[in-house]
């Protein structure tokens, strides 16, 4: 693509983003104000090592903690007592989901309700405000404060999308929960963000069998071993291999967009995961 065509594409992306924001974004988003450091706990298999060897780092009183997705299903949840928790997948809030997701979200909401005996902020997409299923959950819990955020994809000229980022009107495409987790931590004001359990190693175990069914290893730190199964779209259709690689491309690309935004905010993001394919952030070893 020549330079003129590239600029035109960026201009077009900016116009499309503006339309998305007007139609999809809530304009009254208010995040908590923070400073200092936060540890974001990804659910990758390597988190087990970090919890075993560096629990003091995670529980350090000079840091806050954010857990994601199904972390509350683990025994570690009640020990860590994260100040923040984030859900991102729209399946948590849709009225029609697959039987598998129906069971998964019920377990997550039930554990959040039953286990959380400390004050915690739950960050959820703005679409959750229209979910009857989620409203039932909010009505029966007392220690969790709900904060909404926009998941509207923002693409286009850097200055334009960062203008939207700063006002919580859009974010890089949230194809993995760590994208909004890091992004919202930046917008809350944290100046040091540490990632643990951010393996992002799904591509190592992508398989296509003799019937052309594509499976991925969905293993998490709380699983006993590999969890090999297909990936599903919102309508329940299985992802094909090109869908999976596109999803991975957008997630990894999003981390570089976040890196640039963090530099603008004079914030630092450290990848302290034991193993990780995320190559956008400085990798460190916990001592």
What is the pLDDT, as a whole number, of residue 1? 65
Asked whether residue 35 carries a pLDDT value surpassing 70, the answer given is yes
Lowest-pLDDT range of 65-74, 127-136, 149-158: 127-136
Alpha carbon distance 234, 229 (integer Å): 16
8 A C-beta contact, residue 169 and residue 246: no
Average pLDDT for residues 214-234, to the nearest whole number?
79
Bridge partners of residue 66, in order along the sequence: 40, 84
How many structural domains does the chain have? 1
Phi and psi dihedrals of 84, rounded to 5?
-130, 150
What is the pLDDT, as a whole number, of residue 96? 66
In percent, how much of the chain has pLDDT > 90? 69
Instruction: Give 23-33 pLDDT, tens digit per residue.
Output: 999 999 999 99
Domain hosting 86: range is 3-283
Lowest-pLDDT range of 10-14, 94-98, 238-242: 94-98
213 vs 229: which has the higher pLDDT:
213
Instruction: Give 85-143 pLDDT, tens digit per residue.
Output: 999 988 888 876 677 778 888 899 999 999 999 999 999 999 999 888 888 887 777 79
Average pLDDT for residues 163-177, to the nearest whole number?
96
Average pLDDT for residues 44-61, to the nearest whole number?
94
């Amino acid at each position: 693509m020549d330079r003129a065509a590239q600029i035109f594409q960026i201009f077009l992306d900016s116009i499309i983003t503006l339309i998305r924001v007007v139609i999809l974004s809530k304009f009254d988003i208010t995040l908590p104000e923070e400073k200092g450091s936060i540890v974001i706990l990804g659910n990758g298999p390597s988190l087990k090592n970090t919890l075993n060897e560096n629990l003091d780092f995670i529980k350090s009183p000079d840091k806050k903690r954010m857990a994601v997705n199904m972390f509350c299903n683990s025994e570690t949840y009640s020990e860590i007592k994260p100040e923040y928790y984030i859900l991102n997948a729209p399946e948590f809030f849709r009225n029609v989901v697959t039987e598998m997701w129906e069971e998964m979200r019920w377990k997550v909401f039930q554990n959040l309700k039953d286990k959380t005996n400390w004050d915690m902020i739950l960050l959820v997409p703005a679409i959750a405000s229209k979910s009857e299923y989620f409203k039932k959950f909010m009505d029966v819990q007392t220690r969790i404060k709900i904060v909404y955020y926009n998941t509207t994809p923002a693409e286009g000229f850097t200055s334009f999308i960062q203008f939207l980022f700063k006002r919580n009107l859009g974010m890089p495409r949230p194809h993995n929960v760590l994208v909004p987790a890091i992004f919202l931590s930046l917008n809350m004001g944290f100046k040091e963000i540490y990632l643990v359990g951010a393996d992002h190693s799904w591509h190592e175990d992508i398989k296509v069998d003799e019937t052309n069914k594509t499976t991925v290893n969905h293993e998490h730190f709380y699983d006993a071993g590999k969890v090999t199964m297909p990936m599903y779209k919102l309508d329940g259709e299985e992802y094909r291999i090109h869908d999976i690689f596109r999803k991975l491309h957008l997630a990894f690309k999003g981390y570089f967009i976040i890196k640039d935004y963090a530099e603008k905010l004079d914030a630092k993001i450290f990848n302290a995961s034991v193993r990780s394919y995320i190559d956008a952030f400085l990798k460190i070893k916990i001592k």
